[in-house]
Copies of this chain bind each other. A is one copy, B any other.
Amino acid sequence: MILTVTLNAALDITYRVPRFEPSASHRVSEVTERPGGKGLNVARVLAALGHRSVVTGFAGGPTGDLLRRLLAGSPGGERLEDALTPISGETRRTVGVADTRNGGTTQFNEPGPVVTRTEWDTFCETFRARLGEATAVALCGSLPPGLPVGSYATLVRAAQSAGVPVLLDTSGEPLRRGIAARPDLVKPNTDELTGLTGFTEPVQAAREARRRGARAVAASLGAEGMLVATADGGWRAAPPRRIRGNATGAGDSAVAGLLSALAEGQAWPQRLARAVALSAATVLAPAAGEFDRSAYEDLLPRIDVRACASPVV
């Protein structure tokens, strides 16, 4: 089982409008809703890949109820165990407005509920209790208001004590603080990596992130694939062709790829190939945040993985 943590889960709402115009009134032609927040996206991709996953984090209010109902009804939902901690606040929504004319998406993200100290303590009990069965842990996304900035560092240390490999995918100060607790893997994109280290060149930035505490760094390079820097060496992986589409959720699919392959005992090059193939298949899927299974199966054997010539460690 892979333990996923989504501290700021969301109901992701997508609106399609025929022609987006600021300060105008729009009739929405299509509404879709799905459970969101990075850790939940990871859990849904894991379930689609046949892996069991326990979903932890917070859910509250009518939006939280709806999120839980949609989660249970997800494809592969029987492999998702809902262990979300109930809270008195209300789960946030995100609204993405897709302009069907020019393909652009305008995104609005609510800040999320205030999580109390007691609710955080209850969550931590659940988290520690479930660590015993976990083959890996994914800590994903932003922190809701009210939680200390060092919350991910606390969870990284708990996973380390239990001897469970832990991946951290967040940004800003929670990433800076979390990385110092020595997670097994961080998965920043280039912007997050630059924000953390000050370096724009990915190899240099990944090396600096390892120096700050990450045991391994998997840096997503957008259309160019992924770079991984570990104690055993570095690899780069790239798709066989340039992939165009909606990149929403591509990073979460990469996390699911890395962790599912780790759980299956695969080596770094295979983990990386799976992450890049899943990420590309997510960009190619018609619905934001889903992945196209046949594209994934087609791409997986064609991902170009090579050891880095220059030292990345």
| Chain A interface (Cβ < 8 Å from any Cβ of B) | 13, 15, 17, 20-29, 31, 62-63, 65-66, 93, 95, 97, 99, 104-111
Closest CB of chain B to A110's CB: distance in Å?
A: 5
When chains A and B are docked, how far (Å) is the Cα of A20 from the Cα of B22? 8
When chains A and B are docked, how far (Å) is the Cα of A106 from the Cα of B22? 6
Give 8 CB contacts A-B under 8 Å: A21-B106, A22-B99, A23-B104, A23-B106, A25-B109, A28-B109, A28-B110, A95-B108
Assuming the A-B contacts A22-B22, A95-B95, are A17 and B108 also in contact, with contact meaning beta carbons closer than 8 angstroms in the complex?
A: yes
Of the candidates B13, B26, B66, B99, the one whose C-beta lies within 8 Å of that of A107 is B26
Please name all residues of chain B whose beta carbon is closer than 8 Å to the beta carbon of A95 when the two chains form the complex. 15, 95, 108
Please name all residues of chain B whose beta carbon is closer than 8 Å to the beta carbon of A106 when the two chains form the complex. 21-26
Closest CB of chain B to A101's CB: distance in Å?
A: 12
When chains A and B are docked, how far (Å) is the Cα of A278 from the Cα of B298? 64
Please name all residues of chain B whose beta carbon is closer than 8 Å to the beta carbon of A15 when the two chains form the complex. 95, 108, 110
Known contacts A17-B108, A22-B99, A23-B106, then 7 further A-B pairs from the complex at CB < 8 Å, ordered by chain A residue: A15-B108, A22-B106, A24-B107, A25-B106, A27-B109, A31-B111, A62-B63
Whether the Cβ atoms of A104 and B26 lie closer than 8 Å is no
When chains A and B are docked, how far (Å) is the Cα of A93 from the Cα of B104? 22
Most buried by B among A23, A29, A63, A109: A23
Please name all residues of chain B whose beta carbon is closer than 8 Å to the beta carbon of A26 when the two chains form the complex. 106-109
Please name all residues of chain B whose beta carbon is closer than 8 Å to the beta carbon of A66 when the two chains form the complex. 62
Please name all residues of chain B whose beta carbon is closer than 8 Å to the beta carbon of A105 when the two chains form the complex. 23
Closest CB of chain B to A256's CB: distance in Å?
A: 22
